[in-house]
Amino acid sequence: MKSSAAQLQSMYRQQHAGVRGSNYDRAGAERLFEKYFRFIGEFVPAGTRLLDVGCGAGWTSLLLSERGYSITGIDLNAAGFEPAPRGRELQFVAGSAQAIPFVDGSFDVAASYAALEHMPDPQAALSEMLRVVRPGGAVIVVSPNILCPINGLRGVLIHSWRNRPVRRIFLRAPDMPRHPSGNTLPESAYSIVRDSARLVAKLLRRGYSFSFREPDLRPPFHADNDACYLCNPIDIVRYYRSRGCTIMRDGYLGRPRWTSLLASGTFVAVRKSGGGSPRMT
């Protein structure tokens, strides 16, 4: 299923229309984002000029601004932004992460949460994030690790069993969107083998390469059905190393680096060459 920018914008508008209502579970969203905020806080002090790339409706931007960061959020979905509270260093800009409308070195940090996997040209997005931070600044990427074989195992043990009635555990229904790790039990089991092979092949290959899948925009919507890039930490780390960056962190805080390959999430923080530390405001 081919997807245009207009289709993506339409889908995001519909998705965020439900998110932004009075029944939105802000407390639940804050719990989901807290891991991301802790990761950012390890490298970036309050008061830092931070570009929130792929900010969606703007909840990450709002919550980061509450923590004292000077935030600019950017997303394709211009109609879906939350109103910025008065007195907060927070603004939203409509635009593409693959062509960020700011001059070089405009920010101390560019950060992205659960967005890179939805971008048809992740290399362009990573390059743009690096371009708009100052020398010595930081780029932080937190997204799913779609190549993690554990995602398929989770699908086998948990998610497939939610597709009641029982026949839908094993058989694909015509209206069922395709999730990267599978929707049915056979698909989830297959994804364990498939993603293990992809991971090994990527580890054995030198340099970086970006692999893709065809996104599925059909309802019912799941956050990763429309993922087009098979996001993983190997690509991001290798790409930024090729650009002369220092890898400050590959994997979540307090965990051995090798575990990032088998973690369900991608956590990468890099420092742009030149200048001072990203902790300088």
For residues 36 and 222, what is the distance between their CA atoms, to the nearest angstrom?
A: 20
Is 105 contained in some domain? yes
pLDDT at residue 31, rounded to an integer? 63
Whole-prediction pTM: 0.81
Count of domains for the chain: 1
Is 181 contained in some domain? no
Q: Is 50 exposed, middle or buried (0-12, 13-18, 19+ CB in 10 A)?
A: buried
pLDDT at residue 151, rounded to an integer? 78
Sheet holding 265-271, edge to edge: 90-94, 70-75, 49-53, 107-113, 133-144, 265-271, 246-250
Is 75 contained in some domain? yes
pLDDT at residue 212, rounded to an integer? 93
pLDDT at residue 26, rounded to an integer? 52
Structural domain span for residue 86: 5-144+230-271
Is 265 contained in some domain? yes
Is 276 contained in some domain? no
pLDDT at residue 107, rounded to an integer? 98
Is 14 contained in some domain? yes
For residues 51 and 133, what is the distance between their CA atoms, to the nearest angstrom?
A: 9
Residue 118: CATH number of its domain: 3.40.50.150
pLDDT at residue 32, rounded to an integer? 65
pLDDT at residue 189, rounded to an integer? 84
The count of C-alpha atoms lying within 13 angstroms of the C-alpha of 242, restricted to the half-sphere facing its C-beta, is: 13
pLDDT at residue 168, rounded to an integer? 62
Is 193 contained in some domain? no
For residues 146 and 148, what is the distance between their CA atoms, to the nearest angstrom?
A: 5
In order along its 281 residues, the chain shows pLDDT tens digits of 344 445 444 544 444 433 333 334 455 456 667 889 999 999 999 999 999 999 988 888 988 999 999 999 999 976 667 777 776 889 999 999 999 999 999 999 999 999 999 999 999 999 999 999 999 999 999 999 999 888 777 766 665 555 555 556 777 777 677 778 877 788 888 888 899 899 999 999 989 999 999 888 777 666 677 889 999 999 999 999 999 999 999 988 777 766 777 788 899 999 999 876 545 43
Q: Are 124 and 130 in contact (CB under 8 A)?
A: no
Q: Which two tokens stand for residue 267?
A: 């956590």
Is 84 contained in some domain? yes
